């Protein structure tokens, strides 16, 4: 059972949940995520194997920035995460960053130095010369139906010729609330737009797994290949799926967990 307190940090009241037993693992989730939404990270196969902490990014879910008008940077997002692990009393910890969370995770590893013992960067990009993930802010300029169609194209590029997969992803997209981007998400997307760690990645000294979906249209495989080349000693593992490969390839969770526990 996860506990659900707030961390009172200088810039944000950060809602977080912790649970499980094992080595400490910080989960950094993706764009627009809210821990109230399903599926919960606590239902993921990886959860019981770690003492895991997950949180809502500032301005999303139940995390409240103290200055609601401030435009955070990726470095600010990483500082929130480091503030959370300080609040939890973790001296060292592993990080699993998914999509937008993988961008934040890069900044965490760059700023926290030797405190990060293992790093998994899943379906994400470095920005800069290593390539940027798709500009999701552009999808919010579309009407809801067109946005759903575009997102399906991006989530898994096989939908161009797999009508069954396309129909399933469209049904999943249609079940989500259709609304304009709330202010917290707009600011998150703006921070994401400026993400660029490329020139700093060679300074990382943490064991890193870059996990990629072969058919990802948001963070293309080429971006993950570039990440793995740029981070010293990083290993690339490609899974059979799109941007949500961890829900499509049954080997993905075990592979990521085994790396984190090695």
Tally helices (H) and strands (E) across the chain: 8, 9
User: Is 179 a residue whose pLDDT tops 70?
Assistant: no
Q: Model confidence over 167-177: pLDDT tens digits?
A: 999 888 776 65
Report CA Rg, the chain.
Answer: 17
Q: What is the pLDDT of residues 110-119, one digit of tens each?
A: 999 899 999 9
- In angstroms, how far is the first alpha carbon of the chain from the final one? 25
Q: Under a CB-based contact definition with an 8 Å cutoff, are residues 59 and 187 in contact?
A: yes
Longest dimension (CA), the chain: 49
Q: What is the pLDDT of residues 150-164, one digit of tens each?
A: 999 999 999 999 999
| pLDDT mean over 139-145 | 88
Task: Answer whether 93's CB lies under 8 Å from 50's CB.
Answer: no
Total Cβ atoms within 10 A of residue 163 = 9
Return d(Cα 236, Cα 100) in angstroms, integer: 18
Closest by CA position to 112, among listed 203, 21, 50? 203
State how beta strands 51-55 and 12-19 pair.
antiparallel
**Whose CA is closest to 153, among 216, 98, 101?**
216
Residue tagged 């961008």 (tokens): 103
For the cut 70, the answer to whether the pLDDT of residue 233 exceeds it is yes
Percent share of the chain, pLDDT over 90: 88
Give the integer Cα–Cα distance in Å for 24 and 53: 8
Give me the architecture of the 6-134+182-261 domain, per CATH.
3-Layer(aba) Sandwich (3.40)
For the segment 58-110, what is each residue's pLDDT rounded down to a tens digit?
999 999 999 999 999 999 999 999 999 999 999 999 999 999 999 999 999 99
Does residue 248 sit in helix, strand or coil? helix
Cα 151 to the center of its chain, rounded Å: 17
């Amino acid at each position: 059972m996860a506990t659900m307190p707030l961390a009172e940090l200088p810039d944000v009241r950060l809602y977080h949940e912790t649970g499980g037993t094992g080595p400490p693992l910080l989960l950094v989730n993706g764009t627009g995520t809210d821990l109230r939404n399903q599926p919960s990270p606590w239902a993921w196969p990886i959860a019981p194997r770690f003492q895991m902490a997950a949180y809502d990014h500032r301005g999303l879910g139940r995390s409240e920035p103290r200055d609601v008008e401030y435009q955070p940077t990726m470095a600010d997002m990483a500082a929130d995460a480091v503030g959370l692990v300080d609040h939890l009393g973790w001296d060292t910890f592993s990080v699993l960053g998914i999509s937008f969370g993988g961008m934040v995770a890069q900044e965490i590893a760059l700023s926290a130095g030797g405190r990060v013992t293992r790093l998994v960067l899943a379906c994400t990009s470095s920005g800069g010369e290593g390539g940027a993930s798709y500009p999701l802010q552009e999808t919010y300029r579309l009407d809801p139906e067109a946005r759903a169609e575009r997102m399906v194209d991006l989530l898994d590029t096989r939908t161009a010729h797999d009508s069954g997969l396309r129909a399933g992803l469209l049904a999943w997209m249609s079940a989500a609330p259709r609304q304009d981007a709330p202010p917290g998400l707009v600011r998150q997307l703006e921070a994401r737009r400026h993400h660029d760690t490329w020139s700093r990645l060679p300074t990382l000294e943490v064991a890193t797994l870059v996990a990629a979906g072969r058919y990802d249209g948001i963070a293309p495989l080429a971006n993950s290949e570039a990440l793995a080349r740029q981070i010293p000693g990083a290993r690339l593992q490609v899974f059979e799926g799109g941007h949500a490969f961890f829900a499509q390839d049954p080997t993905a969770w075990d592979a990521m967990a085994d790396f984190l526990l090695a």
